[in-house]
Amino acid sequence: MAEITLQHLRKTYGKVVAIKDLSLDIKDGEFLVLLGPSGCGKTTTLRALAGLEMLDRGRVIIGGHDVTALPPGKRGIAMVFQSYAVFPHMRVYDNIVFGLRMRGVSPGEQRKRAEEGAELLQIASLFDRYPAQLSGGQRQRVAVARAIVMQPDVLLMDEPLSNLDALLRLHMRAELKRIHREVRSTTVYVTHDQVEALSLGDRIAVMLEGEIVQCDTPARIYNAPANRFVGSFIGSPPMNFLSGTLRTVDGRLTIERDGARIPLPPARKVTAAPADGTVLVGIRPEHIEVTAAPAPEALPGRVVVLEPIGAQQLLTVRVGDDIVKVSTPPEFQADAGQQIWLRFNPDRIRLMDAQTGAAILS
């Protein structure tokens, strides 16, 4: 059993606040992804969890034990570093059993576990090589094997895929998912790549400037971003944001903009009233429909450019002063400058406070 609780972590480097006041609960066996732009404090959080950073404040609790004061080796964790940190002067086998040796595990048991780990990662044939004789992908497998033979309660990974080329990255992503299903260690995984996060995580904690801004399932993070930042960080292209006015018309919440009126489904409620009725309307590109004829609930716009992106096309539209990105089917056609109308799916609309950027619609 190894659930993790982080309580009010704070870490500063001189004047730089790397983690502000971070609290998080991670369930046993969960795959949790820390996602955020570079410099937001993901690595620092992970290293604090590993015991490689001294915290200014806060407590780290793993499996019910307060490990805040324990050294890394006594926390029941194992870590895969971004650089892999495979020991260059040791053969692959010695790398893999390094931790077991430090623990005083018997040689027979070392061998057995190394073979199991190597099988899981398909590197048994590399045992006698030195890291210099391995490719980047193989080195990374060694790093993962070295971590999992420890049978850690908690497995930590800091951007493990960022040094691989695109194809290998896709492949290893699937591998990591498989491995997690087999070993079931509680896993904390750091990345700045939202696609990775969406595909791997049971839950994603999105970080910004040393704080967690939203921690939720990938679906919720994608569909119901807690604020403007999360919406614009996740998805490619990200969520569109346009200003609009929120009114109650005939007892229904209605968004008004450029003469269009978009009534919202009656089930949706505002959780906090916007100051002066002005709101940010958030809508994903795939939840916009393009029509050639005007309609009362459709926003008028002009086509800027249409780009094919494989299975879909990406349409860029100018609506007033805003730019809106729309996903369209491959057969859709439009010319630059052409007048069109955009119809937003009212079930999928997010409303954000224009000032704070926080979501205000249930």
Partner 1 sequence: MTLRRLGIYSAVVVISAWVALPLVLITLAAFSPREILYAWPRRIWPERFTLDTMLFFVRSAGVLQSVVNSLIVAVLTIVLAFLISAPTGYALARYRFRGRDAVQLAILATKMFPATVLSIPLAVAFIRWGLYDRLIGVAIVHATLSIPFVTVIVSSVFVGISYELEEAAMTLGSSRLQAFLRVTIPMALPGLAAAAIFTFVLSWNEVFAATILTLNNRTLPALIINSVVAAGAPLHYRFAGGFFMVLPALIIILLIRRYLLTLWGVTVR
Partner 2 sequence: MVVADAELPQVAPRGRVDWTPYLLVLPTLAFLGVFFVYPMAQAIWLSLTDQQSGALSLTNFRRMGGDLYFIPAIRYSILIMAIAVPLQVALGLVIALLVNSRFRGHSAFLYLTAIPIGISDLAAGLIWLSIFTERGYLNAFLDAAGLAAQPITFLTYEHTSWLIGAIVVTEVWRATAIVMLILLSGLQLIAKDYHDTASIFGAGRWQTLRHVTLPLLRPSLQTALIIRTILAFQLFATVVALAGRQIPVLAGEAYFWYSLYRSPNVASAYAALILVLSAAITFGYLRLLRQRELEMTA
- Give the footprint of partner 1 on this chain (CB under 8 A): 50-52, 71-74, 77-79, 81, 83, 85, 87-89, 98-99, 102-103, 146, 150, 156
The residue whose two tokens read 């080329």 is 165
The closest alpha carbon to 207, from 195, 194, 219, 220, belongs to: 194
Task: Tell me: does residue 327 bind ligand ADP (CB under 6 A).
Answer: no
How far apart (Å, rounded) are the C-alpha atoms in residues 43 and 162? Answer: 13
Q: Where are the beta strands (DSSP E) in 73-224?
A: 77-80, 154-158, 186-191, 203-208, 211-216
327 touches 314 (CB < 8 A): yes
The closest alpha carbon to 80, from 201, 205, 189, belongs to: 189
CB of 71 to partner 1, least distance (A): 7
Stretch that binds ligand ADP, among 32-40, 230-238, 239-247, 337-345 (CB under 6 A): 32-40
**Element containing residue 290 per DSSP (H, E):** strand 288-291
Task: Tell me: does residue 39 bind ligand ADP (CB under 6 A).
Answer: yes
- Among ligand ADP, partner 2, partner 1, none, what does residue 127 contact (CB within 5–8 Å per kind)? none
Stretch that binds ligand ADP, among 35-43, 65-73, 216-224, 325-333 (CB under 6 A): 35-43
How far apart (Å, rounded) are the C-alpha atoms in residues 295 and 341? Answer: 8
Binding mask 9-48 for partner 2 (x = CB under 8 A): ----x-----------------------------------
C-alpha neighbours within 13 Å on the C-beta side of residue 324: 31
Q: What are phi and psi of 203, to 5 degrees?
A: -135, 155
Task: Tell me: does residue 43 bind ligand ADP (CB under 6 A).
Answer: yes
Binder among 1, 15, 38, 54 for partner 2 (CB under 8 A): 54
CB of 33 to ligand ADP, least distance (A): 13
CB of 196 to partner 2, least distance (A): 23
CB of 75 to partner 1, least distance (A): 8
- Among partner 2, ligand ADP, partner 1, none, what does residue 40 contact (CB within 5–8 Å per kind)? ligand ADP
SS3 178: helix
- Among ligand ADP, Mg ion, partner 1, none, what does residue 13 contact (CB within 5–8 Å per kind)? ligand ADP
Cα 163 versus chain centre, distance: 18
Binding region for Mg ion (CB under 5 A): 43
Q: Which is nearer to ligand ADP, 42 or 203 (CB)?
A: 42
168 touches 137 (CB < 8 A): yes
C-alpha neighbours within 13 Å on the C-beta side of residue 6: 25
Type of residue at 243: S
CB of 51 to partner 1, least distance (A): 8
Provide the binding-site residues for partner 2, judged by CB under 8 A: 13, 53-54, 56
